[in-house]
Amino acid sequence: QVQVVESGGGLVQPGGSLKISCTVSGTIFSMYAMGWYRQAPGKQRELVAGISSDGSAVYTNSVKGRFTISRDNAKNTVDLQMNSLKLEDTAVYYCNARRDEYTYWGQGTQVSVSS
């Protein structure tokens, strides 16, 4: 059974930094493309950053230069380092693992940016 578990969310002031992590178990992690999505109240879930099985990363425009996605295939983890956080980054952040027709989601972790 594949499990996707996020950790590391919390409250941070504008301009601050936070790292959230995702651990995947029950499958061959290195074969999966990984993504971080977020959903703010009243808005649709959106892709924030993705990283392919070979390490190529993509970012939505609003986080380019501020967020960095990385993966460690030995530890089955994917991290999202978030710097220069803004109020509009407040959302529940979800980790996604995808391979072919298979996709798995974590339960989400809350990131709140507030002064």
Cβ contacts of 74 within 8 Å, gap of 6 or more: none
pLDDT at res. 91: 98
7-49 pLDDT per residue, tens = 999 999 999 999 999 999 998 999 999 999 999 999 999 999 9
pLDDT at res. 21: 98
- Range 92-108 average pLDDT: 97
Buried b (16+ CB within 10 A) or exposed e, 54-64: eeeeebeeebe
Sort strands 10-12 and 109-113 into parallel, antiparallel or unpaired: parallel
CB 36 within 8 A of CB 7: no
- Range 79-91 average pLDDT: 98
